[in-house]
């Protein structure tokens, strides 16, 4: 039995090693996912893509498959060996990342991007379920924030890879390289032991897992019972509209702020990495501290972070290329993305029955990615192309400012969810202490 099931206040070295492995997988996940954005100034002209086509590849084509498949994969993770399932996902997306390097037009990039979404949809719902079974409720903010270091390192690393390795070996060879690394990691995960499910161990039940139909029924019954959970999901969806705008940053930098495409990749990588990692630690550790100190839910802390960051985000989009607001805005933007993950995932796991954690997390990811990112990126590309056709100046800037403003609606959603959090836990008879 894992140490933390014997002593819920301690985190063992094996738990940290397991968390480290999942974080490495998430780094690879985000590297693969962001390669298209990082290499956009190379891939768009090389494949002859419009902004709308690029938006489909980076957005809806990927996220629709990622999110819809994720609903099934989340339910599957609640019923099967989760480490073996993750191994399958890593192997699938890595093989298809390598295949993407052979693309010669829109369609030949579209097909593997869709199927990559299926493979990547497995990781986070399964990982969050595993972490909830290994870490106490009081440290879930830290665990989720640490896991999502992978998002910051992967996103920032993709730009550094494109800026340094891309000119040396080309974007296609970078796709081949990451695909090969992923196949090796997939084999390692295959031989990693599954974590006992806490609710089965604590109850003394035999390891009997529910059927998929039963999991779906429990999840769809549980979600409407918690207004805090629904508000948190709505906030996450709206916040990802902001993230969707970032997929056009490299095109915006080069075409409207006159940056060199290789130099801005390096700047984005270094500053984005610093901002994202800082945000991960502040969001994870800070929200745990805030919840213990104030008694409010972690999402109140997140709403305060977003309110403080908002003016910097707008100043960043309005600034000329030589302004200090460009590096400041890059840092703040990645900071608030990093700060989001720990409080959000720790909060929703505290509001759902343990037997359907993966399923509800997958549903949350569905909302974030299909509506927030998928539709967001696609509409942004369409908006930019329409403005260009009508001769409107700075179409990227106008579109990205509008999307950023719309995403601010996430703030009251998170505030409400955080204030309502403890009430809903009591109503749902979830009694594990945050302290």
pLDDT on residue 5: 41
Residue 210 burial (C-beta neighbours within 10 Å; 0-12, 13-18, 19+) = middle
The SS3 call for residue 435 is coil
pLDDT on residue 2: 44
Tokens representing residue 424 in the block: 């809903």
The b/e string for 237-256 (b: 16+ C-beta within 10 A; e otherwise) is bbbbbbbbbbbbbbbbbbbb
- Residues 35-73 have pLDDT tens digits of 888 898 899 999 999 888 988 888 778 877 887 887 788
In 3D space, the residue among 189, 12, 207 whose CA is nearest the CA of residue 85 turns out to be 189
Helix (H) or strand (E) holding 287: helix 261-294
pLDDT on residue 180: 94
Q: CA 131 to CA 342: how far, in whole Å? A: 12
Provide the CA 426 distance to its chain's centre, in angstroms.
29
pLDDT on residue 1: 40
Phi, psi of 105 (to 5 degrees): -155, -175
pLDDT on residue 145: 76
Q: Distance between terminal CA atoms of the chain?
A: 23
Q: CA 383 to CA 232: how far, in whole Å? A: 28
- Print the SS3 string covering 328-351: HHHHHHHHHHHHHHHHHHHHHHCC
Q: Round the CA-based radius of gyration of the chain to a whole number and report it.
A: 21
Q: CA 435 to CA 430: how far, in whole Å? A: 14
Q: Where are the alpha helices (DSSP H) in 3-81?
A: 3-6, 13-38, 40-47, 51-58, 60-77
Q: Is the full-model pTM beyond 0.85?
A: no
Pick out the chain residues at pLDDT < 50.
Answer: 1-7, 201-204, 206-207, 431-435
pLDDT on residue 213: 61
Q: Mean pLDDT over all residues of the chain?
A: 85
Do residues 422 and 297 touch, judged by C-beta distance below 8 A? Answer: yes
C-beta neighbour count of 23 within 10 angstroms: 19
The SS3 call for residue 209 is coil
- Residues 237-281 have pLDDT tens digits of 999 988 888 888 999 999 999 999 889 999 999 999 999 999 988
pLDDT on residue 177: 94
DSSP at 139: G
Write down the CATH number for the domain with range 12-427: 1.20.1250.20
pLDDT on residue 212: 57
Q: CA 168 to CA 266: how far, in whole Å? A: 14
Tokens representing residue 328 in the block: 């400041």
Domains of the chain, by residue range, sit at 12-427
pLDDT on residue 431: 47
């Amino acid at each position: 039995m894992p140490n933390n099931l014997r002593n819920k206040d301690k985190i063992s070295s094996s738990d940290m090693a397991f968390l480290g492995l999942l974080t490495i997988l998430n780094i690879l996940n985000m590297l693969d996912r962001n390669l298209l954005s990082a290499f956009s100034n190379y891939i768009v002209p090389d494949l002859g893509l419009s902004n709308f086509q690029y938006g489909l590849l980076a957005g809806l084509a990927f996220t629709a498959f990622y999110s819809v498949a994720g609903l099934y994969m989340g339910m599957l993770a609640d019923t099967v060996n989760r480490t073996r399932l993750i191994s399958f996902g890593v192997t699938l997306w890595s093989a298809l990342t390598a295949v993407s390097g052979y693309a010669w037009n829109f369609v030949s990039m579209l097909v593997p991007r869709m199927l990559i979404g299926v493979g990547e949809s497995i990781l986070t719902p399964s990982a969050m379920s595993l972490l909830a079974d290994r870490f106490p409720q009081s440290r879930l903010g830290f665990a989720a924030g640490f896991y999502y270091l992978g998002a910051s390192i992967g996103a920032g690393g993709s730009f550094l890879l494109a800026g340094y390795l891309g000119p040396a070996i080309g974007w296609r060879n970078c796709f081949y390289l990451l695909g090969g690394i992923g196949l090796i990691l997939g084999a390692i995960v295959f031989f990693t032991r599954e974590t006992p499910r806490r609710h089965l161990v604590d109850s003394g039940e035999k390891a009997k897992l529910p059927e998929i139909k039963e999991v779906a029924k429990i999840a769809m019954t549980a979600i409407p019972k918690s207004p805090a959970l629904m508000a948190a999901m709505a906030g996450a969806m709206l916040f990802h509209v902001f993230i969707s705008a970032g997929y056009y940053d490299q095109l915006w930098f080069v075409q409207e702020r006159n940056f060199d495409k290789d130099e801005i990749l390096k700047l984005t990588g270094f500053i984005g990495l610093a901002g994202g990692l800082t945000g991960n630690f502040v969001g994870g550790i800070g929200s745990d501290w805030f919840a213990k100190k104030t008694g409010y839910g972690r999402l109140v802390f997140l709403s305060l972070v977003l309110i403080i960051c908002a003016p910097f985000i707008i100043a960043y989009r309005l600034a000329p290329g030589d302004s200090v607001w460009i590096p400041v805005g890059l840092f703040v933007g990645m900071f608030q993305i990093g700060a989001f993950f720990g409080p959000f995932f720790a909060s929703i796991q505290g509001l759902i029955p343990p037997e359907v954690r993966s399923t509800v997390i997958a549903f949350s990811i569905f909302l974030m990615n299909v509506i927030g990112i998928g539709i967001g990126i696609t509409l942004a590309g369409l908006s930019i192309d329409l403005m260009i056709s009508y001769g409107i100046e700075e179409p990227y800037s106008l579109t990205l400012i509008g999307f950023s403003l719309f995403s601010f609606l996430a703030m009251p959603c998170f505030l409400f969810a955080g204030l309502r959090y403890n009430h809903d836990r009591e109503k749902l008879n979830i009694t594990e202490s945050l302290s």
